[in-house]
């Protein structure tokens, strides 16, 4: 009988075997992490407190920011602590928890981004029915389904991964537990459960992708009918950021979660893992909110409430003219 030593703990290699370089990487990711947390918390606070931001679009943005905070909080603090203490080991239970949480929050991100594309489709293509279709009850239902489906898929994906025994090497060449690395050190002859969960994930991802593509097909068809070039340019400029973030998130997620396991992990594996973990949560506040005129004005109103002064009031009136006056038009202009 061959010697079959079962793995009870894993070693997260991170970015380098050198402790000094590992510490530098940990500090860099910590700075990025704090910036993401502060910016997303600011967005959540503004949307919650400002009455002018109580619209479906900003409701989805608030949930997206919340998911981003949870998502990036799973691997980065743990990696920073490991880089400082130089203790890179993690238990099987801790590894399973990482896989479950990251998969759940990543899936929730995809579903919320899909709901946002549908919201844009309704606002631009069916403005007269917007209030009825995107009611508060329907928005809560869409977000609830996004969270529940993400958690369900995370549980299925994690169960499929850790239903297999692990033997041999316990080294994971990443700064968090990723499924391709776990598959590489699995000693199971059958991977039916994990491939089933992967198939379900691919189907869900393709469904979201098709929904986004169809939404923007009708959006672009409607925008091209706008008589003025300025209106078309503004509409395209506001739609492209969403497509950019969605594409980056989907591509990096496919590379991290769906790539076949390799015996020799490359630098690109770690690079895509960082891009998938850090870049979308960092881009979302900038693209969706901090560059949005409504959010800028909400931030200035909050500043006025905290530090009331005549000069601040004049600045607000001059920089926030509220040119998008009507209720339906404001939704389109917010994009």
Give the model's pLDDT for residue 289.
62
Give the strand order in the sheet containing 171-172: 89-91, 9-12, 171-172
Q: How far is CA 195 from CA 58, 99, 200, 204, 239, in A?
A: 36, 16, 9, 14, 35
Query: Residue 176 burial (CB < 10 Å; 0-12/13-18/19+)?
Result: buried
Give the model's pLDDT for residue 52.
82
Measured in Å, how far apart are the chain's first and last C-alpha atoms? Answer: 65
Q: Do 315 and 63 form a contact (C-beta atoms < 8 A)? A: no
Number of other CB atoms surrounding residue 87 within 10 Å: 11
**HSE-up of 322 (CA within 13 Å, CB side)?**
7
Digit-coded pLDDT (tens) for 279-308: 888 887 777 665 667 777 777 787 777 766
Q: Which of 89, 57, 76, 132 is nearest to 335 (CA)?
A: 57
Taking 50 as the pLDDT cut, the residues of the chain under it are 1-3, 310-319, 321-335
Give me the residue label for tokens 């891009």.
275
Q: Is the dihedral of CA 328, 331, 333, 335 positive or negative?
A: negative
Residue 155 neighbours by CB under 8 Å, 6+ apart: 100, 104
CATH architecture assignment, domain 9-334: Up-down Bundle (1.20)
Q: CA–CA separation, 68 vs 180, rounded Å? A: 23
Dihedral angle over CA of 79, 80, 84, 89, nearest 10: -20
Q: How far is CA 292 from CA 115, 117, 206, 283, 285, in A?
A: 19, 17, 29, 13, 10
Phi, psi of 61 (to 5 degrees): -65, -40
Give the model's pLDDT for residue 104.
92
Domain spans in the chain, listed from the N-terminal domain onward: 9-334
Q: Do 219 and 124 form a contact (C-beta atoms < 8 A)? A: yes
Q: What is the pTM of this model?
A: 0.82
């Amino acid at each position: 009988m061959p010697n079959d030593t079962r793995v009870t703990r894993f070693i997260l290699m991170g970015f380098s075997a050198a402790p000094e370089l590992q510490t530098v990487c940990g500090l860099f990711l910590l700075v990025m992490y704090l910036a993401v947390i502060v910016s997303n918390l600011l967005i959540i606070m503004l949307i919650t407190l400002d009455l002018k931001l109580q619209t479906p679009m900003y409701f989805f943005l608030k949930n997206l920011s919340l998911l981003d905070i949870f998502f990036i909080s799973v691997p980065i603090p743990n990696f920073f602590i490991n880089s400082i203490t130089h203790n890179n080991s993690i238990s099987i239970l801790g590894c399973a928890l990482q896989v479950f949480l990251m998969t759940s929050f990543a899936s929730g991100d995809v579903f919320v981004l899909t709901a946002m594309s549908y919201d844009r489709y309704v606002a631009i293509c069916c403005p007269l029915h917007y209030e009825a279709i995107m009611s508060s009850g329907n928005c809560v239902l869409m977000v609830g389904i996004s969270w529940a489906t993400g958690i369900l898929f995370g549980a299925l994906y994690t169960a499929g991964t850790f239903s297999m025994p692990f033997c041999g090497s316990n080294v994971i060449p990443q700064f968090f537990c990723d499924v391709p690395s776990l598959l590489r050190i699995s000693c199971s002859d059958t991977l039916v459960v994990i491939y089933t969960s992967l198939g379900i994930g691919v189907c869900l991802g393709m469904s979201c992708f098709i929904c986004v593509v169809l939404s923007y097909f009708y959006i672009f068809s409607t925008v091209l009918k706008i008589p003025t070039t300025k209106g078309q340019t503004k509409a395209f400029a506001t739609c492209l950021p969403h497509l950019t973030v969605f594409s980056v998130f989907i591509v990096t997620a496919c590379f991290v979660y769906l790539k076949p396991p390799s015996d020799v992990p490359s630098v690109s594996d770690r690079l895509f893992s960082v891009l998938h973990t850090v870049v979308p949560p960092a881009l979302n506040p900038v693209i969706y909110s901090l560059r949005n005129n409504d959010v800028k004005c909400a931030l200035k109103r909050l500043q006025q409430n905290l530090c009331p002064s005549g000069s601040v009031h004049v600045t607000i009136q001059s920089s926030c003219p509220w040119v998008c006056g009507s209720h339906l038009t404001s939704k389109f202009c917010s994009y």
